[in-house]
Structure 1
Amino acid sequence: MPALPDYLRVSNAIMDDVRSGKLKPGDKLPSIAQLCVLHKVGASTIRQVYIRLEALEVVERYQGKGVFVTDPATWLRKP
């Protein structure tokens, strides 16, 4: 079975952390640089992760402030 692309692997890991309660609504995600080191990927991959998570409404991005976890109730039950 082929491995998942890095952006899916990382975004799924973040979503799992939200589902498990490790990340809570309102928590600020680490910076792009920190996530690069943590997941051993490049900055462009983390930017893809943030774009995907924002499209899925898992996070909200605020320019100059960061990326924050939304309430899982808003995205967990969507069809």
Structure 2
Amino acid sequence: MPATPDYIRISDEIAADVRSGKYKPGDKLPSIAELCSQYKVSSSTIQLVFVRLEAIEAIRRHQGKGVFVTDPKTWLRKP
């Protein structure tokens, strides 16, 4: 069975951190360089993480300012 790609694993971890309250709506996520260091992956992998999280509207990117968490109520599905 193939391993889960890093970008999926990391985006799932960040989404779980939002659900748990580690990151709150409006919080700025760590920089690409910080996330690369934390997860020991390339910047292109973190870019894929951001693309995936942006697709589900879990984050919003502001050029020159950073990446911010959106309100999970807008993107989390109810059980």
Q: Give 1:3 deviation, angstroms.
A: 1.8
Q: Which runs of 4+ in 1 moved over 3 A?
A: none
**Structure 1: gaps (5+ residues):** none
Measure, in 2, the Cα distance between the counterparts of 1:77 and 1:15: 12
Identity %: 69
Measure, in 1, the Cα distance between the counterparts of 2:36 and 2:48: 12
Please report the TM-score for the alignment, with normalisation by the length of structure 1.
Answer: 0.94
Aligned to 1:71: 71
Q: Give 1:2 deviation, angstroms.
A: 2.7
Asked whether 1:12 is paired with 2:32, we answer no
Please report the TM-score for the alignment, with normalisation by the length of structure 2.
Answer: 0.94
Q: Give 1:77 deviation, angstroms.
A: 2.0
CA RMSD of aligned residues (A): 1.1
In the comparison of the two structures, how many residue pairs are matched? 78
Aligned to 1:53: 53
